[in-house]
């Protein structure tokens, strides 16, 4: 299959907030601007830095332990995440973009993709580069003068994301179809969005070691030999600037992970932690008006072993208590080889929560569903976890709200 490079006008924009969490903290506090700052899940020496300011990055401080960062710069300012602050910035960010078009897709808390095909802003004769500069100005006005973004413009989402990473911080780059050959000649395979080390090894095994070789590979080779699926065809199109990533997939599951701060082999303590994870998961399930047929429990242990098991339920799960009871059944199946260090739960096989018609003598399923909805309304009005099951008493500082990576569907 001989397919030419897509030379249409670049009308897809990728935009991301530079050093998101760190720069938002610097915007909020003038005293830490122009200084090395790291945002870490925990500020203890073993805590992991999830975002660093550009001042810290220039020193070589990126994703690493706090102790490692202090070895590089003893004066680095370490902060723990403030999720509500970042959520507010995400909403403001989105509101700015929606002034220009309604085709705005959040990709994570700090990045968006915008489709300007058919936008009246472009039809009025204004170039997308000018619009990008206006967006930069509007974001500074909305989020603060210290906040900067990177913008990439290209024929498809894949190339736009590459463009957005080219001149950080505060860059704006455009990739046209005619730029593709030169661009790929300057990149490594793992510089391409979506190509991790596992995919790189797969490409290498097929004799593909550079993005240019990837581009030149026949479609049949990619589909039949490298990826052994339709994924090879998608890559063939994607590399040439054709859009294959615009589809929006529906939700398939809801879940929560928790790294246990105080490692424990006390089964009752694990049950308490499970209850709070169930409440967080149940709230998300109900917020999106879904119910679930499947539940999963995963446990990590101090000896580096892992246990995980799922089960499909006959009755649909909606209330927190429904999820919790099924997880307790799974918990009874596992023997603890060591202290628990990690808990993962999920509900899956979901479907819209349609009204249930019950018979006169059908028991109390309607009661639990109504109670869950009433409790959610109270917590929406008076604050998260205002009304909780008794098992969650005094757990305000346990399994606290964290910043989501990837999905922002709950914002």
Q: What does 342-393 look like in DSSP terms, one character per residue?
A: EEEEEEEEEEE-------TTS-SHHHHHHHHHHHHHHHHHH-TTSS--GGGT
SS3 call for 316: strand
Pairing of strands 172-174, 104-108: unpaired
Domain match, 227 and 292 both: no
Do 262 and 346 lie in one domain? The reply is yes
Burial class (CB in 10 A: 0-12, 13-18, 19+), 64: middle
Do 282 and 320 contact (CB within 8 A), yes or no?
yes
CATH number at residue 227: 1.10.150
DSSP code at position 34 = T
For 42-84, give the DSSP string.
Answer: -SSTT-BEEEE-HHHHTTT--SSBHHHHHHH-TT-EEE---HH
Task: Report yes or no on 123 lying in a domain.
Answer: no
235 lies in the same domain as 257: no
> Is 135 a domain residue?
no
Prior bond of 403 cis (ω within 30°): no
Query: Does residue 111 carry a catalytic annotation?
Result: yes
User: Alpha carbon 14 to chain centroid distance?
Assistant: 16
On whether residue 366 sits in a domain, the answer given is yes
191 shares its domain with 305: no
Output the CA–CA distances (angstroms, integers) from residue 169 to 112, 172, 200, in the order listed. Answer: 16, 9, 27
Q: Pairing between strand 253-264 and 49-52?
A: unpaired
Q: Which of 31, 63, 82 is the last residue of a domain?
A: 82
Catalytic residue among 111, 200, 216, 279: 111
3-state secondary structure of 19: coil
Look at residue 149 and tell me if it is in a domain. no
Q: Within a 10 A sphere around the Cβ of 20, how many other Cβ atoms?
A: 23
pLDDT, tens digit only, all 411 positions of the chain = 556 899 899 999 999 999 889 999 999 999 999 999 999 988 889 888 999 999 999 999 988 999 999 999 999 999 999 988 999 999 999 999 999 988 899 988 889 999 998 787 777 677 899 999 999 999 999 999 999 999 999 999 999 999 999 998 899 999 999 999 999 999 999 999 999 998 999 999 999 999 999 999 998 899 889 998 888 989 999 999 998 887 655 557 888 888 887 889 999 999 989 988 998 888 888 888 889 989 999 898 888 888 888 888 888 888 888 899 999 999 999 999 999 988 989 898 888 876 554 444 444 444 566 666 666 565 555 555 555 565 555 555 544 455 555 555 555
Asked if the structure places residue 95 within a domain, the reply is: no
Q: Answer yes or no: do 380 and 292 share one domain.
A: yes
Q: Which of 64, 82, 100 is the last residue of a domain?
A: 82
Q: What is the DSSP string of 75-118?
A: T-EEE---HHHHHHHHHHHHHHHTTT-S-EEEEETTEEEEE-TT
In a domain, 406, yes or no: no
Which CATH number does the domain housing residue 327 bear?
A: 3.30.1490.100
Of 391, 393, 397, 398, residue with least CA distance to 271: 391
| CATH code for the domain of 36 | 3.40.1170.60
Range of the domain at 300: 253-392
Residues 226 and 306 in one domain: no
- Cβ pair 47, 65 in contact under 8 A: yes
Which ranges of 263-319 would DSSP assign to H, the alpha helix? 267-287
Give residue for tokens 């300057």.
Answer: 186
The pLDDT value recorded for residue 247 is 61
Task: Give pLDDT, residue 74.
Answer: 94
Q: Which of residues 40, 65, 82 is at a domain's end?
A: 82
* 263 and 205 fall within a common domain: no
Q: Ramachandran region of residue 218, left (φ > 0), alpha (ψ -120 to 50) or beta?
A: beta
Q: What is the largest CA-CA distance in the chain?
A: 72
Q: Do 189 and 270 have their domain in common?
A: no
What pLDDT was estimated at residue 380?
A: 58
Q: Does 383 fall in a domain?
A: yes
Q: What is the pLDDT of residues 348-394, one digit of tens each?
A: 888 887 655 444 444 444 456 666 666 656 555 555 555 556 555 55
Bridge pairing between strands 172-174 and 149-154: parallel
Same domain membership, residue 328 and residue 227: no
Clarify whether residues 288 and 388 are in a common domain: yes
Residue 340 shares a structural domain with residue 233: no
Number of domains in the chain: 3
297 vs 307: CA distance, rounded Å: 8
Residue 155 falls within a domain, yes or no? Answer: no
Residues 218 and 273 in one domain: no
């Amino acid at each position: 299959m001989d397919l030419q490079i897509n030379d249409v006008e670049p009308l897809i924009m990728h935009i991301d907030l530079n050093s998101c969490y760190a720069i938002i903290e610097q915007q909020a506090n003038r005293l830490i601007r122009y200084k090395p700052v790291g945002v870490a899940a925990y500020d203890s020496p073993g805590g992991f830095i999830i975002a660093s300011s550009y001042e810290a990055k220039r020193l070589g401080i990126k994703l690493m332990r706090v102790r490692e960062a202090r070895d590089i710069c003893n004066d680095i300012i370490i902060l723990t995440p403030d999720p509500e602050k970042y959520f507010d910035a995400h909403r403001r960010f989105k509101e700015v973009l929606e002034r220009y078009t309604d085709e705005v897709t959040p990709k994570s808390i700090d990045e968006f993709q915008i489709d300007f095909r058919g936008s009246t802003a472009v039809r009025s004769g204004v170039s997308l580069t000018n619009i990008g500069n206006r967006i930069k100005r509007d974001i500074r006005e909305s989020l603060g003068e210290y906040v900067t973004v990177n913008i990439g413009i290209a024929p498809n989402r894949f190339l736009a994301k590459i463009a957005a990473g080219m001149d950080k911080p505060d860059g704006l780059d455009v990739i046209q179809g005619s730029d593709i050959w030169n661009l790929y000649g300057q990149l490594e395979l793992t510089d391409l969005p979506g190509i991790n080390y596992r995919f790189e090894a797969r490409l290498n095994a097929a004799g593909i070691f550079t993005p240019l070789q990837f581009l030149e590979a026949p479609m049949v080779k990619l589909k039949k030999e490298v990826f052994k699926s339709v994924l090879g065809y998608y890559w063939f199109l994607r590399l040439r600037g054709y859009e294959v990533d615009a589809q929006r997939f529906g939700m398939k599951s809801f879940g929560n992970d928790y790294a246990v701060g105080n490692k424990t082999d006390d089964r009752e303590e694990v049950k308490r932690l499970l209850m709070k994870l169930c409440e967080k998961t149940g709230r998300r399930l109900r917020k999106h008006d879904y119910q679930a047929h499947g539940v999963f429990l995963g446990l990590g242990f101090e000896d580096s072993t892992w246990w995980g098991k799922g089960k499909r339920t006959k009755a649909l799960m909606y209330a927190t208590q429904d999820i919790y009871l099924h997880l307790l059944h799974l918990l009874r199946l596992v023997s603890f080889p060591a202290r628990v260090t990690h808990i993962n739960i999920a509900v899956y096989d979901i479907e819209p929560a349609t009204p249930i018609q019950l018979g006169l003598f059908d028991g109390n399923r309607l009661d639990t569903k109504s109670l869950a909805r009433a409790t959610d309304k109270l917590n929406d009005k008076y604050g998260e976890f205002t009304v909780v099951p008794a098992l969650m008493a005094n757990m305000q500082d346990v399994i606290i709200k964290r910043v989501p990576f990837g999905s922002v569907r709950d914002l």
